Structure 1
């Protein structure tokens, strides 16, 4: 990613360094340090993004404090350069750091895009709108490229040839057996000479005796040749076992190639079935039989469970259209009441369970999942609490589809940057 967003903020006047390039280098170094921190702790992506996107973020927010501490390491006299805490400068540094980290970590890229889409819809960033549009577009293009590869169905499946090398032939010197004529001649002579019967006196008796001795001589000669011609035993268990293993490996690779190639098609087919059925596997009920906002939240959960972390941006649009199939989708409710219901409604217990696994107890700016998954920690949803912890005004109104998409993006973002164990459990 080639864009340097610190310079973008300089150009629109959000950062004023009086033309001092040395100060700019200190900001660049701080952004680099924060990017390294984010790569080591990707779960901070949501908080970094939400703080960077909010011009009204409190100067005491934990993420602002962390960014300020990083800046002090590079710029010890920073407190003397500004009249107060330079929140705008810190926000610019955070955005630059996030984009740097996203360039080398796809999980951070997913979390940034989903969080930014939610945060920017309710943030007062008109002066910075173009900068954020460029940042989100740049990172989202990277995410979609990977997602499309995982969702694609190729026209042809190619399987590598069978990998098998037959054993080398066993070389052996072979000499054809021959009859020892001298020995056979001696035996024939022996069979004829010592015969007690003379042919002229009793030809039948003589021939009978001669035949008996002659057959023994010939049989012994033939048996000797047969013994020399008997084949040496060959052990084929090794070559056959190697061949069987090669065939098994080849078939496994072919099936894996087929499964991988058709995974995208199977996923799309399942999603179409889910959209048409409008049935929640989480609570085993039809979405049509639930209040629309509860149904929208469950649809966000169920879709999240069906799609991988790396999904194209069009999946959010698909969810919107699915929620619009519900009755009474045109109504609106304020965000404070929606969060309250998400924390207390019985049907949304599966959502709260997953939210608690994904998001920590709310401390400073963070996702709504923290408030929903840890209701005891956040207490009643007051306007000041909602604003401080989620960056949302209590008066903001949403339709069921707005609410569902907001929650779906938070779930996707949280899974992308959660611990490997949690990702494996939910993938």
Structure 2
């Protein structure tokens, strides 16, 4: 991503390849910052969406500090804070952070979506590249959200049923056999004084068999010892063979049971997910038909339209998971459109009306100061308004980076706030 941004001519770093390596290193450090402090991803997304963001924005100051750690002479090369260079590093870190990560992708998408939809961005030369990036993060987040809510079946390729490769033990191959040479000396000692070849034997029968009486007295204990040794040796080997087979069988059964338990746990997890997803869909359907605000104990149709918009966004947030499909947002929009007047007001007027008639009980649900930075989501401005603060055109332009005269229907305002609420929820869950 960083190379692609440089290829667009956003930044001129000359022919010194080490400068590019320093930018890459700073991007990696910023990625680490995102992992340690997920709220920074919201700020980073807002900065990425605006090429004209104030160069004194605290977030850019943070990124510059990371670059200077690698590139000590940065300000010798750039007299002013190099906004596009820092923005490029930010975009690169965001792309790396969201790669194949549904939660982080959802943070970025929910922060950016409404601004993209309502043309409240200034992407500059990076427009095409950024749009591709946002399409990717949406796809990553949406696929996982659909999967978790049971609305998307993951296609499994058809395969020929393979013969089981489990570790089922084969039929026992018990053995206790001994070789003749293992007892040969004992039998020879019982039979006579030496081997047929004439070699002397230790503790051998001193008599040959032609001395029957004396020979038999010596033969009996020696032959008994030889037989006992043979039997004991064979029995010992048979016991070892049985133990080895039993151990293999136990190991195979444990592995088989482990796999079976894993399958049962997986099935239980899927059933639980399916139950939760089914309940969520039912709750959302019921809510959309009832058009009643559980937080305000009133129908949305009797609430001031701007108040109804933020109340509906908060109410729906309480019913759905943080990583919810895009269709949930559109259910909100359709519900608001059905129960409020199609009254298009400027964003500034919506917030002023919200200040005049704030929903009750939202102080804890909409805490101010989510991002602790100069560039903030619209949600933070709305939270301040609900808390009693006034709002001005300059607040919306300089802090939220949006046009105060942007005309929105209540449904569109509700969808915007809902997306940002979802982004904040994921941030809180992953912090």
Give the equivalent residue in structure 1 for 2:407: 397
Out of 100, 107, 110, the position equivalent to 2:96 is: 100
Whole-angstrom distance in 2 between the partners of 1:361 and 1:141: 25
393, 398, 402: which one aligns with 1:383: 393
Query: 5+ residue gaps in structure 1?
Result: 156-249, 422-427
**Structure-2 separation of matches of 1:107 and 1:350:** 28
How many pairs are equivalent? 322
Task: Tell me: CA distance 1:290–1:111, structure 2 relative to 1, closer, same or farther (3 Å).
Answer: same
Corresponding residue of 1:417: 427
Q: TM-score, normalised by structure 2?
A: 0.68
Contact 2:385 2:391 (8 Å CA) reproduced: no
Contact 2:145 2:324 in 1 (8 A): yes
Measured after TM superposition, the shift of residue 384 of structure 1 is 2.0
**How many Å separate the matches in 1 of 2:362 and 2:348?**
17
Looking at structure 1, the residues matched to 39 and 123 of structure 2 have their Cα atoms a distance apart, in angstroms, of 24
Alignment of 1:118-137 (within 5 A): 118-120=114-116, 121-137=119-135
- 2:325 maps to what in 1? 312
Mapped partners of 1:104, 1:251: distance in 2:
27
**Pairing 1:254-403 to 2, within 5 Å after superposition:** 258-329=271-342, 331-346=343-358, 348-356=359-367, 359-360=369-370, 363-375=373-385, 379-403=389-413
1:361 & 1:280 partners in 2: Cα distance? 28
- Aligned residue in 1 for 2:192: none
What is residue 215 of structure 1 aligned with on the other side? Answer: none
> TM-score, structure 1 length as denominator?
0.68
User: SS where residue 353 of structure 1 aligns?
Assistant: coil
CA displacement 1:164-187 (0-9 Å, x = unmatched): xxxxxxxxxxxxxxxxxxxxxxxx
Instruction: Tell me the alpha carbon deviations over residues 137-176 of structure 1, each in whole angstroms, 9 at most, x when there is no partner.
Output: 1122221222122111699xxxxxxxxxxxxxxxxxxxxx
Alignment match, 1:71: 67
Partner of 1:146: 144
- 1:62 is matched with 58
CA contact (8 A) 1:17 1:24 kept: yes
Q: Distance in 1 between matches of 2:417 and 2:411?
A: 10
Q: Superposition RMSD on alpha carbons, in Å?
A: 2.9
Structure 1 residue matching 2:365: 3-state secondary structure:
helix
Structure 2 unaligned regions, length at least 5: 154-262
- Residue 282 of structure 1: CA displacement? 1.0
Picking from 78, 103, 120, the partner of 1:82 is 78
Distance 1:255 1:132, change over 3 A: closer
Larger radius of gyration: 1
Query: Could you tell me how far apart the structure 1 residues matched to 2:386 and 2:351 are?
Result: 13
Shift of 1:297: 1.6
Structure 1 contact 362–377 (Cα < 8 Å) conserved: no
- C-alpha distance in structure 1 between counterparts of 2:71 and 2:39, whole Å: 27
Name 1:15's counterpart in structure 2. Answer: 11
Q: Distance in 1 between matches of 2:142 and 2:152?
A: 17
Q: State the shift of 1:22 in Å.
A: 1.9
Secondary structure of 1:22's counterpart equals helix
| Cα pair 1:343 1:352 within 8 Å, conserved | no
Supply the distance in 2 between the matched residues of 1:252 and 1:106 (Cα, whole angstroms): 23
Within-5 A mapping of 1:204-219: none
Equivalent runs, 1:101-250 vs 2, <5 Å? 101-103=97-99, 105-120=101-116, 121-152=119-150
